Amino acid sequence: MSYDPPRPAGRLLLTPEDREAPARTRRLRRLGLGERPEAVLDAFADRLAERTVAPYAMVNFLDDKGQFFAGLHTPGRDVLTVDADGTRREVGRHLARDHGFCPHVVVRRKALVLEDVCDYPRFAGNPVVDEFGIRSYLGAPLIDGTGMVLGTVCVVDVEPRPWGRDGLETIKASAAELVGWLERRGSEGFLL
């Protein structure tokens, strides 16, 4: 696996190089995914949050420019943290490519379980840790029938979480369920 060069700030995290991003971007556009929120994907994220008892859940599509949460579940308020000066850090639909852990899942092509991101120097320096207070992550890739990784399904928490084997099985099953649904919709000629 190759990586982009380290950032000038000297972060320990290296965002993986995503050689499939241009092809993925074209595929997502053909499928009509990754450019607008989808009510059905928001509902999927709601169910995923409920299954995992996580405050945040996402259906994330990654293109050559960044990440887009086409499905998003947040608690009653859309705030992860409030800074000492009162600045609210809100969860949005867009995230830079070097933020979060989904780019790693996409390049690795397999699930990633981080019960406490601070236990992993490579991940503890990620901007979402300091900017949003993310402390745990559980995500799996959305690999379609062509072998293309379209994005991820993931859940995060602001507290360390013992996701365990049950969490891993849940996120992988959820990814498979969503890929099946996306493919059925695509084969029927409907765009989401």
> What is the C-alpha to C-alpha distance for residues 59 and 41, in angstroms, rounded to an integer?
7
Six-digit token string for 186: 């695509």
DSSP character for 189?
T
Asked if 99 and 156 touch (Cβ cutoff 8 Å), the reply is: no
DSSP character for 7?
P
CA–centroid distance for 124 within its chain: 16
CA–centroid distance for 190 within its chain: 24
Q: Which residues contact 104 (CB under 8 A, 6 or more apart)?
A: 16, 112, 123
Per-residue pLDDT of the chain (192 residues; tens, 9 = 90+): 333 333 434 444 477 889 999 999 999 998 889 999 999 999 999 999 999 999 999 999 999 889 999 999 998 644 444 455 655 555 678 898 889 999 999 999 999 999 999 999 889 988 888 888 899 999 999 999 999 999 999 999 999 999 999 999 999 999 999 999 998 876 665 443
> What is the C-alpha to C-alpha distance for residues 161 and 167, in angstroms, rounded to an integer?
10
- What pLDDT, on a 0 to 100 scale, did the predictor assign at position 85? 62
- What pLDDT, on a 0 to 100 scale, did the predictor assign at position 162? 96
Domains of the chain: 21-187 (3.30.450.40)
- The model's pLDDT over 132-154, given as tens digits with 9 standing for 90+, comes to 889 999 999 999 999 999 999 99
- What pLDDT, on a 0 to 100 scale, did the predictor assign at position 126? 87
